[in-house]
Every structure is written in structure tokens, then in C-alpha cells.
Amino acid sequence: MKNIFTLIRRPGNLSARGYKFLMNIWPPYWGSGIFVERIAPDFKRLTVVMKMAWYNRNAVGTHFGGSLYAMTDPFFMLMLMGVLGPDYIVWDKSAAIDFIRPGKGRVRAEFFLTDRDIGRIRQETGSGEKFLPTYSVDIVDEDGEVVARVRKTLYVRKKENRTG
């Protein structure tokens, strides 16, 4: 049987339901109050929430910025791994976070990949070249107000076909 870390790194090995379960018991998320609420069966949509608790507050009583970023960190990469499958290399290349307003209460981030996104990646990487798509996700509070905006640039390349 594969260990939990192998399964998490390769979301294509799991159903969305299994992946959600493993991410929700993964210590860095479980211990931070980060919870994967929903994953679409095709891995193109994912929702993450984080409740406010004593262990993820900063010195002024709002959400700690590191926890806000952590709730967005691996998901575009893992979603693409799940959609594209084992024929592609997918890595996080860079990230930036803009803090818009203090985060209080329960916050949410919704990640989306469109068929157009996937088609463009397949087109750009078809000849073996790398592609660096950039995605953005807003973290919103219970009133729908943007707390932070995260931009992620990924590295995507089709693996070389090695035979013989």
C-alpha cells in the first residue's frame, strides 16, 4: 500500500473524495484549522475554508497571514496534477499574496480550472516546452469581502516519452 504522502502528491491516484479525506487529516492543515470543503470529481473545482481559532490568530486578533497563504498553497498544483495525469510535471514556481483587509471569522477560497485553461496548457506543452500559467484566488470572509488575493505561477511540462 502506498503511504499518505505518495497519495497526496499524486491526486490522480485517488478519487476526489479520498483526496479530500487525506488532505483534511494531513497534520499541517488539520493543525491550522484548514479544511478542504469540496473537490469536484474532475479536480477542476476545489473549496477550502479556515475557521478563526486561537492558534491561527496574529498579535492583533485577526487571521495570521501565513495561515491565509497556507490555505491556498498547494491546490492549483495538485488540481493540475489530478487533471493532467502522470504524463505531466507540475510544480509551484512562485507565489505572491496581497493582504486586502483584516481577516476575521471563517474564511474561504474557491479554486477553479476551466476547460480552456487545460486546453491551453496541453497546447503550450505539446512539443515538450515548459509553460508557466498564472492563477489567482481570492480569500473571502463570511460577508464575501476579499481578505487576501493570492497569485500562483506554476511550471508545467509534458514528460518526455522514453521508450526502449
| Rounded CA separation 44/163 (Å) | 31
| Residues whose CB falls within 8 Å of the CB of residue 152, separated by 6 or more in sequence, listed in order | 72, 76, 77, 92, 94, 95, 134, 135, 136, 137
Query: Does residue 13 lie within any of the structural domains?
Result: yes
Query: Does residue 105 lie within any of the structural domains?
Result: yes
C-alpha distance from residue 43 to each of 11, 28, 88, 105 (Å): 9, 21, 15, 27
pLDDT at residue 83, rounded to an integer = 92
Whether 6 has a pLDDT exceeding 80, the answer reads no
Query: Model confidence over 25-36: pLDDT tens digits?
Result: 888 888 889 999
Whether 1 has a pLDDT exceeding 50, the answer reads no
- Residue with the larger pLDDT of the pair 21 and 49: 49
Structural domain total, the chain: 1
CATH of the domain at 95: 3.10.129.10
Q: What is the mean pLDDT of the chain?
A: 89
Whether 163 has a pLDDT exceeding 80, the answer reads no
Query: Does residue 115 lie within any of the structural domains?
Result: yes
Query: Model confidence over 45-88: pLDDT tens digits?
Result: 999 999 998 888 889 989 999 999 999 998 999 899 989 988 99
Query: Model confidence over 122-131: pLDDT tens digits?
Result: 999 999 999 9
Query: Does residue 138 lie within any of the structural domains?
Result: yes
Sign of the four-CA dihedral 45, 91, 156, 5: negative
Question: What residue numbers bound the domain in which 29 lies?
Answer: 4-158
Whether 12 has a pLDDT exceeding 80, the answer reads no
Vertex 71 angle, CA 150 and 141, to 5°: 75
- Banded model confidence at residue 17, pLDDT cuts 50, 70, 90: confident
Query: Does residue 133 lie within any of the structural domains?
Result: yes
Query: Does residue 140 lie within any of the structural domains?
Result: yes
Whether 90 has a pLDDT exceeding 70, the answer reads yes
Query: Does residue 41 lie within any of the structural domains?
Result: yes
Query: Does residue 164 lie within any of the structural domains?
Result: no
| Rounded CA separation 74/23 (Å) | 11
